[in-house]
Amino acid sequence: MNPSQNLLVLYTGGTIGMQMSEAGLAPASGFEDRLKSEQALHPERPAPAWQFRELSPPIDSANMRQANWLAMRDAIVQAVDADGFDAVLLLHGTDTLAYSAAALSFLLLGIPVPVLLTGSMLPAGAAGSDAWPNLFGALAALHHGCLPGVHLFFDGQVLHGARTSKLKSEAFDAFANMARARHGAHAEALPDALHYRQPRQPVALAVQPLFPGLSTAQLSATLESGAQGVLLECYGSGTGPSDDPAFLAVLREARERGVVLAAISQCPLGHVDFEVYAAGSALAEAGLVSGGGMTREAALGKLFGLLGAGLEPAEVERLFILDLCGECAD
């Protein structure tokens, strides 16, 4: 937990830097000058020496895509390996902040410096905004020292990058680490293909919640959409329709085609244990792999990281159930 002395502030857009336009609040450039002005007003606030870079154009995080995740990863690797920064503070919108924190957790496995993400519920400069408290709170955390890896700072807390979800749409304490059961075994070693210096590729992914009345045809449409990996949000401890042979057959057929089928619990504090109910073991027999207590954000980011590294489906399944960075084990 060495204190940062040479920090990169990487601005991607989001509410924190938005300004009013004719259509409403919109991402805006020029945030570096605003940050410098605010820091000059409060020299007592602890902060490392920092430099500022902007990913152009700045975006509303509701428009976040895999290409943006890969651009962030590339910028961070460049900053750490080529430019010698000892920490990165990434400014990001809140709508998809937890998704990006999770994705980067798996894109930056093994990185030797802290990468801290933050944003705000209200723009900087708005009355009562949380923007400056979050930003300077993050700067203070890095000034005092953070562990290597990906974290999220919000409302005074440093949160685990691969355990966080957004729970509220308006309150300042919008993010929390989910207290889901984590019983996964730790990976003995990180495969070379998953090291943060290894480039990644876009991945076709899909998320399919199970719900009463989900038809075999609807499930088949998702599985046949070209997705390389499908995250199924199951009931309770990992259950789903087990009395419909056609439903289970389309799952088996998809897995035989090489589609990775991963399962998480829909319950906010749930975890998958296929052995509890027959309705769960039927899904396991059809080819689903357990995400244990992973959140949706973590499971999706993990599928993206594993498949984007070019690993074979069987290797993705093997690694998916193992803990790589604290996402499914304490």
**Are residues 57 and 161 both part of a single domain?**
yes
Q: Is residue 307 part of a domain?
A: yes
Residues in the chain: 330
Let me know whether 203 and 307 are in one domain. Answer: yes
46 with 158, same domain?
A: yes
The pLDDT > 90 percentage for the chain reads 92
Q: Based on the domain organization, do 167 and 216 belong to the same domain?
A: no
The DSSP bridge partners found for residue 261 are: 230
If one counts the domains in the chain, the total is 2
Same domain, 151 and 214: no
Domain end among 153, 177, 201: 177
The 10s digit of each residue's pLDDT in 276-301 is 989 899 999 999 999 999 999 999 99
List pLDDT tens digits, range 19-72: 888 888 888 999 999 999 999 999 999 999 999 999 999 999 999 999 999 999
- Looking at the structure, tell me whether residues 167 and 206 fall in a common domain: no
**What residues are annotated to the active site?**
15
Angle between helices 296-308 and 313-320 (to 10 degrees): 140
Q: Is residue 187 part of a domain?
A: no
For 156: left if phi > 0, alpha if psi spans -120 to 50, otherwise beta; the answer is left
Among 145, 177, 209, give the residue marking a domain's end: 177
pLDDT in tens, 205-226: 999 999 999 999 999 999 999 9
Whether pLDDT at 113 is above 90? yes
On the question of pLDDT at 121 being above 90, the answer is yes
**Stated pTM of the model:** 0.96
Name the domain boundary from 122, 151, 177. 177
Of the candidate ranges 26-30, 79-83, 84-88, the one whose mean pLDDT is the lowest: 26-30
Radius of gyration of the chain (CA): 20
* Core vs surface per residue 240-251: b (16+ CB within 10 A) or e: bbbeeeebbebb
Instruction: Quote the domain boundaries for residue 111.
Output: 7-177
In a domain, 224, yes or no: yes
CATH number of the structural domain spanning residue 59: 3.40.50.1170
